[in-house]
Structure 1
Amino acid sequence: MQPDVHAAAESIRSDQQDIYAVIDLGSNSFHMLMVKVVGGSVQVIGRVKRKVRLAAGLNDNLVLSRRAMKRGWECLALFAERLQDIPPQNVRIVGTATLRLARNVKTFLHDAEHILGHPIRVISGDEEARIIYQGVAHTSSCEQNRLVIDIGGASTEIIVGQGVQPLKLSSLHMGCVTFLDAYFADAQLSEENFAAAIAAAEQVLAPVADEFNALGWQVAVGASGTVQAMQEILIAQGMDETITLPRLEGIMQQAVICGRQDQLSIIGLAQERKQVFPSGLAVLIALFRSLHIKGMTLSGGALREGVLYSMLPQLQGTDVRQHTINSLMVRYHIDQQHASRVSDMALSLANQVASRWMLTGFDGLSLLHGAALLHELGLLIEYKNHHHHGGYIISHSDLPGFTRAQQQLLMALVHNHRADINRELIAKQTMTSVLLTVRLTRILRLAVVLSMRRRHEALPNVSVSGKGEQLILQLPAGWLDQHPLMRAELEQEVQYQQAAGWELELR
């Protein structure tokens, strides 16, 4: 007797109700993201990316070539296998700029939907921009107005928003694939080709630039492979992760020196990114010039994450970063009451020196709060090196709400919250200055020691002051004499900080 294949498939799907998949049919690459919702947070369980360069098959009459379609169908056949066990209601597939433009899009969609077994929704440019912003908002916490840039294969989306709400958005007809074919078709990486591509991008930006500049955004983030490639180059060449116009122009000069596309060799540039790198760089330079961007970092998500969170109403309108922290605290059985006690002490100390030490930049206080809540993350493994275990867990986990650089800073704080201080780990930070990392580390360490009795009523009434990098910890009169163990621990902490070159005084 033949088994009921349909019933078996339904049984498998019923066990996968908390698994979701999003497919993004982009103009340069097709992406598939798969996640599992665990403890109120999103856990990535799979990512698949294939370069399809769909936009390269679009001719002047906006007809998509059969060859480009075939590349797309072959990629989707790979994706289809992974979708078989996921409930249909947990799958979303969207198409972007090239599929918006192609006059014969129905031909592509007919076979694509047959291959996938799911409908494909081709979204408008404005809707794409809105979803991109939601993806950024749900994966990278920020309280300030921010400018979001996403350079795709055939379109570039620009959005200004605050919190989870976009204030202004625009989708422009320029991308790394279309500009590659238009301005670097001869494969020459000449100053003339770059200048022509940048000028063309600035012309596309001209009608909207003033409106975006007038909104007064404070933070700029990029959500595309182009921005990621630039950041990887900067870090590989010994700089921090902040992208600036002078740095982009320096990278352009490195490309010009290479001379030709097939000879392109820049430290930190991945092989898979080389093909559309020059055109993406030109568009990004134009964006920096036209929108007067001083610095840009990489976001934690974009279109795929925006589509994903639209399927997860229970996670919408919430602090994704706090959701992630709460999920880790539950998963690793952290004493939440004590974690909050340490966090309160750390923030109390930090607020006393925040203006002098400039701790509010780069989400410094928020990351100090997160590190304090997670400082005992590694206790589930063992006590002696639990700070090392905690740092390792943070470094090797997917943390929605944190950019990769924020994750590295969080890891360094947790790793260094007790015992010997790893100065090399602090020096490797790419998010911000080593000085800010040092300051946050010193405050967290003091908060941990002062909270060591794990009772609220045992916390001393302390204050911190000092000049320059000196810290003076002021305790109530006679308190140290009444608490000899705490005195010994604080004196040991003075020794740890002095060994690292940091001046700490007890009074």
Structure 2
Amino acid sequence: MTQPIATSPFENASVTAADASPRTVAVIDIGATSIRMAIAEIYPDGQSRTLETLVQSVELGHEAFDNRRLSRRSIEKSASVLKRYKRVLREYGVTSPKDVRVVATTAVREALNRLAFADRIFVATGFNVDSIDEAEVNRITYMGVMPHLRAHPDLADGKSIVVEVGGGNTEMLIVRGGNVLHSQSFRLGSLRLLKTLEGVRASAVRRRAMLESHIRRTLSQITDAIKRDTAIHLIALGGDMRFAAHQLLDDWDGNSLAEVPTARLAKLTEKLMSLSEDKIVKRYDASFIEAETVGPALLAYTLLAKHFDLPHVYVCDTNLRDGLIHDMAVGGSWTADFRNQIVRSAISLGRKFDFDETHARNVAELSRKLFDQLQDEHQLDSRHEVVLFVAALLHEIGMMVNVRSNHKHALYLIRYSELFGLSRDELLQVGLVARYQRRAYPQPSHEGYGTLPQQERVVVSKLAAILRLAIALDDTRSGRVREINCVADAKHLVINVPGLDDVSLEQMAMRENSGMFRDVFGLPVILRAGKLE
């Protein structure tokens, strides 16, 4: 019988502070059409208050989505904008690099010269640009939107499709009962849509029809990921939908979920699609950034709502910068709820490959206990615990491909999967830990491993060594080893198994599997039965 998806007993991380005074921080979002900065105060209890927001238009998306390169002119303009932002930060007393986070999304991430862009920004400003991927965006989106979903009584039942149509991509989360069922990124964005019309001389009606054709192709992909077995709600994020909500709802406070009737959204979209950018700016007091993208973006939202026959669309004010500020407030730590979402996603992936779920869960739980009790030896943080736990769950999914080389196939399947909440770098770490659960030790010539910086190579080796111990402890695949007690001294690591009188089979497996732990940590491993004296 298939077991219900359960999560690991991760505990919430707490936020502490040396004193009660707020800390002033800033986040800068380098997007496809603009560079935005939010300056905020973070309080010891994790709360924050935005002090100022700035926005400056750029044309990075036009170039990146056209020829996958950023021009020297655009790079220098971006550097100039960030220099001005840095001067503003000095006025607020924000001078430490740890108090500023600069991220770049789709446009910079897709540019072939993204490293040159990041290097130029660093030389000009000292800012380190972090090109975040879809997984990081989804994580921030999830953290921002879930409080709204939980607080809204109408969204407690059914599925919520959380969608943001950006300049380059459309990001989607499918949530039900607080659990993420699916996350995916689609190459559909307002600027990409506009690119399809470049050089086309046609009427407004014909141009709209062309945009609809592109959008509907993506809609078919979205609907393939959504099982229509219950009520569906659409939660729209992004500046374009916030613009629409403010135009259509006189009483929206900008904080709570807005409920926009689909029929009224369709009429506004129709009107905007018939106007030039200059007329949109004048008639709606919009910025040129909004005027350029609002029509195609709203058309995508409207068609999605109509496709599911939804009478209204919920609009949420959550944005990337708010999420980044919250992330800084909690020190980048993952909440227990978010970690458990990652675990749910991993178990779902394991089931697709018909993994031995009972054994996988036992090994994962033993891995977590080893990680916890060996903290003084490995000195790793809570995120690495999640990497180990997921690798333990998925270490045998390659069995479906090939039994003999299942560890290598596990690396490939994990690395190129769509596990919710884990970035590409984190997926590589998970995959490598699973790859080294048996046979060869890490080698520079191995795929993926040799390209890692030394610090990450050491992390992979430490986690893989711990995973091998956990696998040995469940060598009988009976789950009879539940509790362990680890004692490390200068010469040995002793693992005691309370409640069992005979662990001879596990001792044989431990002798075969503990060599990597000895080489990494310098401690031979001894397994003993019975209670610790």
CA distance in 1, matches of 2:39, 2:301: 29
Matched, 1:301 2:318: yes
CA distance in 2, matches of 1:142, 1:15: 29
Report the RMSD for the aligned CA atoms in angstroms: 3.4
CA distance in 2, matches of 1:154, 1:215: 31
Residues 166, 67 of structure 1: alpha-carbon distance in 2 compared, 3 angstrom cutoff = farther
Give the deviation of 1:20 after TM superposition.
2.1
Matched, 1:46 2:63: no
Contact 2:37 2:54 in 1 (8 A): yes
Residues 138, 187 of structure 1: alpha-carbon distance in 2 compared, 3 angstrom cutoff = farther
CA distance in 1, matches of 2:132, 2:322: 15
- Report SS of the residue matched to 2:317: coil
- Report SS of the residue matched to 1:115: helix
CA distance in 2, matches of 1:130, 1:290: 27
Give the deviation of 1:164 after TM superposition.
6.7
CA distance in 2, matches of 1:303, 1:218: 24
Give the deviation of 1:17 after TM superposition.
6.3
Correspondence for 1:88 among 79, 83, 97:
97
Task: State the percentage of identical aligned residues.
Answer: 20
- Report SS of the residue matched to 1:212: coil
Residues 264, 34 of structure 1: alpha-carbon distance in 2 compared, 3 angstrom cutoff = closer
Paired position in structure 2 for 1:436: none
CA distance in 2, matches of 1:128, 1:137: 14
Paired position in structure 2 for 1:197: 211
Contact 2:22 2:44 in 1 (8 A): no
Q: Which moved more, 1:98-107 or 1:175-184?
A: 175-184
Matched, 1:226 2:211: no
CA distance in 2, matches of 1:261, 1:207: 30
Give the deviation of 1:294 after TM superposition.
3.4
Paired position in structure 2 for 1:154: 168
Paired position in structure 2 for 1:110: 119
Paired position in structure 1 for 2:137: 128
CA distance in 2, matches of 1:47, 1:63: 28
Paired position in structure 1 for 2:32: 27
- Report SS of the residue matched to 2:138: helix
- Report SS of the residue matched to 2:112: coil
Give the deviation of 1:140 after TM superposition.
6.7
Give the deviation of 1:283 after TM superposition.
2.2
Report Cα offsets for 1:209-256 as digits up to 9, x if no partner.
Answer: 232354746543222011011112213699x95323322321233235
Paired position in structure 2 for 1:286: 303
Query: What TM-score, normalized to structure 1?
Result: 0.53
Report Cα offsets for 1:313-372 as digits up to 9, x if no partner.
Answer: 2897599xxxxxxxxxxxxxxxxxxxxxxxxxxxxxxxxxxxxxxxxxxxxxxxxxxxxx
Which residue identity is paired with 2:267?
G
CA distance in 2, matches of 1:77, 1:37: 24
Give the deviation of 1:297 after TM superposition.
2.7
Structure 1: segments with no counterpart, 5+ residues: 1-13, 320-507
- Report SS of the residue matched to 2:175: strand
Which residue identity is paired with 2:316?
S
Structure 2: segments with no counterpart, 5+ residues: 1-18, 338-533
- Report SS of the residue matched to 1:198: helix
Matches within 5 A, 1:397-416: none
Matched, 1:18 2:34: no
- Report SS of the residue matched to 2:259: coil
Contact 2:48 2:325 in 1 (8 A): no
Correspondence for 1:37 among 38, 42, 53:
42
Report Cα offsets for 1:72-110 as digits up to 9, x if no partner.
Answer: 222212222234433322322211111121111111111
Give the deviation of 1:182 after TM superposition.
2.1
Contact 2:162 2:172 in 1 (8 A): yes
CA distance in 2, matches of 1:209, 1:152: 19
Report Cα offsets for 1:285-310 as digits up to 9, x if no partner.
Answer: 23323455432232132222222222
Residues 147, 189 of structure 1: alpha-carbon distance in 2 compared, 3 angstrom cutoff = farther
Which residue identity is paired with 2:248?
L
Correspondence for 1:56 among 18, 39, 62:
62
CA distance in 1, matches of 2:230, 2:122: 43
Paired position in structure 2 for 1:351: none
Paired position in structure 1 for 2:76: 70
Paired position in structure 1 for 2:109: 100
Paired position in structure 2 for 1:119: 128
CA distance in 1, matches of 2:134, 2:200: 30
Correspondence for 2:181 among 164, 167, 171:
167
- Report SS of the residue matched to 1:222: strand
Correspondence for 2:286 among 263, 270, 275:
270
Paired position in structure 2 for 1:79: 85
Give the deviation of 1:173 after TM superposition.
1.1
CA distance in 1, matches of 2:188, 2:263: 23
CA distance in 2, matches of 1:262, 1:184: 18
Matches within 5 A, 1:298-447: 298-313=315-330
CA distance in 2, matches of 1:91, 1:148: 28
CA distance in 2, matches of 1:213, 1:291: 12
CA distance in 2, matches of 1:194, 1:237: 31
Query: What TM-score, normalized to structure 2?
Result: 0.51
Contact 1:147 1:219 in 2 (8 A): yes
Residues 220, 70 of structure 1: alpha-carbon distance in 2 compared, 3 angstrom cutoff = same
Residues 167, 58 of structure 1: alpha-carbon distance in 2 compared, 3 angstrom cutoff = same
CA distance in 2, matches of 1:151, 1:68: 23
Residues 134, 53 of structure 1: alpha-carbon distance in 2 compared, 3 angstrom cutoff = farther
Residues 182, 157 of structure 1: alpha-carbon distance in 2 compared, 3 angstrom cutoff = same
Contact 1:309 1:316 in 2 (8 A): no
Paired position in structure 2 for 1:208: 222
Aligned residues: 304
- Report SS of the residue matched to 1:203: helix
Q: Which moved more, 1:175-184 or 1:24-33?
A: 175-184
CA distance in 1, matches of 2:61, 2:251: 32
Paired position in structure 1 for 2:493: none
CA distance in 2, matches of 1:78, 1:212: 45
- Report SS of the residue matched to 2:226: helix
Correspondence for 1:254 among 261, 264, 271:
271
- Report SS of the residue matched to 1:300: coil
Contact 2:273 2:295 in 1 (8 A): no
Residues 43, 103 of structure 1: alpha-carbon distance in 2 compared, 3 angstrom cutoff = same
Contact 1:21 1:35 in 2 (8 A): yes
Paired position in structure 2 for 1:503: none
- Report SS of the residue matched to 1:149: strand
Give the deviation of 1:59 after TM superposition.
5.6
CA distance in 2, matches of 1:288, 1:184: 27
Paired position in structure 1 for 2:197: 183
Residues 51, 189 of structure 1: alpha-carbon distance in 2 compared, 3 angstrom cutoff = farther
CA distance in 2, matches of 1:16, 1:177: 42
Which residue identity is paired with 2:174?
V
